[in-house]
Amino acid sequence: MKPKDVTAIEALRSRRRFVREAAIGTTFVALGGLYVFADAAAGGDGEMRPDGRPRVPPGQRLLKALKPMGGEPGSALRQDFRLSISGEVEQPLVLDFEQLASVGVVELGLDVHCVTGWSVLGARFKGVRISELAAKARPKPSARHVVFEAAHGYTANVPIREALAPESLVAFDLDGQPLRGPHGAPVRGVVPNLYFWKSAKWLTGIRFVQRDEPGYWERRGYNNHGDPWREERYA
Ligand SMILES: Nc1nc2c(c(=O)[nH]1)N[C@H]1C(S)=C(S)[C@@H](COP(=O)(O)O)O[C@H]1N2
Ligand SMILES: [Mo]
């Protein structure tokens, strides 16, 4: 290979590295809303998170893509979708898909950790921050927990602080495509800092409550909180 080609390849390599690094934390405005592409959990391909915890929690192995884990699906049609925001809020809301998608869309690279032992790093979810929805509904000071409600009575409870973390989303696209049916189409919760059962698929509601209400799996032997770094797997 001629030295010139080697130089070109080196330039390409460093360009790629630059693009990869530049993508982290970059904010850019796109049609109709704010799009942020950021690797919220880690800052790229590092082994530690900004909070000092390892990127891969103990006892987890990596998969390339989400594995469909089942559950009883709701309608996958965006036109059928309604999201109610209820409970301890000043302004209860019901949003259809269009109204949801007009709130302020972000795209985040998020790590998900399933209690059964698999993790996916940097799954690219597009959606709306739950904190943005809360800003519209205005939780009362009495609100301490959030209950995610889904089709056929599935629920998952999350402490309000974790539900309103900047990386907690209501998501409708995954890796550049509309969410597929088995992953909760048209809209699912994504609470990446807790085990994935907290991320309700076929989402229908977000209810703010004063007293904690163990959800579907939490009443069936899963840990009430579900922190992957503490291995809060089962009760
Ligand atoms: N509505 C609903 N949401 C759900 C579930 C379910 O059964 N019903 N299962 C949970 C569990 S246990 C996991 S691990 C994840 C799996 O999401 P995935 O199928 O997209 O991988 O969804 C969570 N959300
Ligand atoms: Mo799960």
HEC sequence for 3-44? HHHHHHHHHHHHHHHHHHHHHCCEEEEECCEEEEEEECCCCC
pLDDT for residue 70: 98
pLDDT for residue 46: 65
Residue 124 belongs to a domain: yes
Residue of 60, 69, 113 to mutate, ligand 1, most atoms within 8 A of C-beta? 69
Among residues 50, 23, 49, which one has the least CA distance to residue 38? 23
Among residues 74, 102, 72, 104, which one has the least CA distance to residue 185? 74
User: How many A from CA of 69 to the centre of ligand 2?
Assistant: 6
DSSP, residue by residue, 141-154:
TT--EEEEEEGGG-
Residue 121 belongs to a domain: yes
- 171 to 4, 35, 106: CA distances (angstroms): 46, 13, 9
Of all ligands present, the nearest one to the C-alpha of 205 is 1
Number of domains in the chain: 1
Residue 109 belongs to a domain: yes
Q: Which atom of ligand 1 is nearest to the CA of 152?
A: 1
pLDDT for residue 15: 39
Separation between Cα atoms, residue 109 and residue 72, nearest integer Å: 26
Q: Which atom of ligand 1 is nearest to the CA of 183?
A: 20
Is any ligand 1 atom within 6 A of the Cβ of residue 200?
A: yes
Separation between Cα atoms, residue 182 and residue 50, nearest integer Å: 32
Q: What is the residue whose two structure tokens read 């630059």? A: 18
pLDDT for residue 38: 46
**Of all helices (H) and strands (E), which one includes residue 96?**
strand 93-96
Mean pLDDT by 10 residues, the chain (235 residues): 42 40 34 41 66 96 98 98 99 98 98 98 98 98 99 98 98 98 98 98 99 98 98 97
Whole domain around residue 63: which residue ranges?
3-230
- 110 to 119, 121, 184, 191: CA distances (angstroms): 11, 6, 17, 9
Residue 87 belongs to a domain: yes
Of all ligands present, the nearest one to the C-alpha of 201 is 1
Is any ligand 1 atom within 6 A of the Cβ of residue 67?
A: yes
CATH assignment at residue 81: 3.90.420.10
Residue 98 belongs to a domain: yes
At residue 124, what is the residue type? Answer: R
Is any ligand 1 atom within 6 A of the Cβ of residue 150?
A: yes
User: How many A from CA of 201 to the centre of ligand 1?
Assistant: 6
Q: Which atom of ligand 1 is nearest to the CA of 115?
A: 14
User: How many A from CA of 156 to the centre of ligand 1?
Assistant: 10
Residue 147 belongs to a domain: yes
Residue 38 belongs to a domain: yes
Backbone angles phi, psi at 222, to 5 degrees: -80, 155
Token readout for 23 is 């993508």
pLDDT for residue 26: 32
Collapsed DSSP state (helix, strand, coil) of residue 230: helix
Residue 235 belongs to a domain: no
